[in-house]
Amino acid sequence: MSAKVNRVYLALGSNIGDRDRYIREAIDMLNEHEAIKIVKISPAYNTAPVGYIDQTDFLNAAVAIDTTLSPRELLAVCLDIEQRLGRVRTIRWGPRTVDIDIIFYDDLIIDDGILTVPHPRMHERGFVLQPLCDIAPNAVHPVYKKTVEQMYREWKAKGDINSNV
Ligand code: GSY
């Protein structure tokens, strides 16, 4: 019996060094995994930092993958790629070579103390919603029951001056 294939959306961000190369290498490394297939890649956007704002601009993108990995297994793969690309966790919300967040994993809702899916702040982050809307406008948030396009439109309508794409 073959394992179930799950559709997952990941958000990637980088704001140290050659940001474009880090994003591309992270995607290549995901694709090299035998249990991951890259399905779609968004454009990458230059975005002002949100949260800890005393840091340089980010490059943000999103990818759709099909995977037979469990959420925890996928988290471990993402953390391993972050580490192999030189990420050192110092300041929370601080600069990073590459960050890979699980945004949606099918329509699962997970909050087990290690992993929270959907990502708890994705709906308030333009830098996640804009690239995600490029590749999955009709994906539905399993808690809020809204499409990515709806959430992105609402985020834009709020016009929060503290947020940026
Ligand atoms: O969790 C993502 C890391 N991050 C980002 C980011 O990727 N992009 C922007 N623009 N701001 C951010 N703040 C944090 S933390």
pLDDT digits (tens, 9 = 90+) for 130-149: 999 999 999 999 999 999 99
Domain limits for position 52: 6-120
The CATH code of the domain that includes 92 is 3.30.70.560
Q: Is the peptide bond before 118 cis (omega within 30 degrees of 0)?
A: yes
Total of domains in the chain: 1
Q: Report the amino acid identity of residue 113.
A: G
Q: Active site residue: 21, 24, 96, 153, which one?
A: 96
Residue 128 falls inside a structural domain: no
72 within some domain: yes
Domain contains 134: no
Residue 137 lies in a domain: no
Question: What average pLDDT does range 18-33 have in this prediction?
Answer: 96
Ligand 1 centroid to Cα of residue 53, in Å, is: 9
Q: How many residues does the chain have?
A: 165
Q: Are 47 and 126 in contact (CB under 8 A)?
A: yes
Quick check: is 159 in a domain? Answer: no
Q: Are 102 and 119 in contact (CB under 8 A)?
A: yes
Among 96, 99, 121, 163, which is best to mutate for testing ligand 1, by the most ligand atoms less than 8 A from CB?
99
Confidence of residue 161 (pLDDT cuts 50, 70, 90): very low
From the CB of residue 88, how many other CB atoms can be counted at a distance below 10 Å?
11
Mean pLDDT in residue range 118-124: 97
Alpha-carbon distance 148 to 123, whole Å?
8
